A and B are shown apart, each in its own frame.
Chain A
Amino acid sequence: DAGITQSPRHKVTETGTPVTLRCHQTENHRYMYWYRQDPGHGLRLIHYSYGVKDTDKGEVSDGYSVSRSKTEDFLLTLESATSSQTSVYFCAIQGTDYGYTFGSGTRLTVV
């Protein structure tokens, strides 16, 4: 996806371990978002950022934290991974034309 990359693409981790997912953009957009996608639930907002060091919670933020020290990077951390956090995680950036551009996603499995 042009201008936005997520890493890693796949990760398997053990219950109780911390995990950090990275979203990197080259578009210099102000707004960045983290969503999780689960069958039957669609896309649910975890956290979002409206600038460097400016973040806020979404509807499913429990167990997650974020950081944004640079415009281009938005990190999502699972402080102590649980099996309920097994999901596909998508990062999105928002341009001035309102539309979101999503990354390719990170498939996280917590065992």
Chain B
Amino acid sequence: GENVEQHPSTLSVQEGDSAVIKCTYSDSASNYFPWYKQELGKGPQLIIDIRSNVGEKKDQRIAVTLNKTAKHFSLHITETQPEDSAVYFCAAGYGGSQGNLIFGKGTKLSVKP
């Protein structure tokens, strides 16, 4: 089955700097790679996702890149702000019917003012 590794487990940056979180997956058949942000006391919220037919996707200050050959994908946050502080999860799996996503263990991002 699918296995997702996520690094680092904690990340501290200064406000305005960039943050990068990396994930690797094991199942070459996975075709859907979402990223979730979880704030304290809340459920994870989808912030961006990418499918296997796309190498990069951007949405304002966040971007995700996918390298299918190496089986890794990354989340990039530019111009970080204190409100970006949260736990971020990557996931991999089959999109569409029976999503059955496998999640990484999470990265706690702290943005210092």
Contact = CB atoms under 8 A, between A and B. Distances in A.
Most B CB contacts (10 A, CB to CB) among A31, A58, A98 go to A98
B49 A99 contact: yes
A72 to B, nearest CB: 18
Interface residues of A, number: 24
Interface stretch (B10-18, B53-61, B63-71, B92-100): B92-100
Contacts, number: 56
A90 B103 contact: no
Contacts of A42: 6, 89, 103-106
Contacts of A98: 32, 34, 49, 51, 95-96, 99
Nearest to B103: A43
Interface string B1-44: 10000100000000000000000000000001010100000111
The 4 closest A-B pairs by CB, nearest first: A102-B43, A98-B95, A42-B105, A43-B103
A51 B47 CA distance: 27
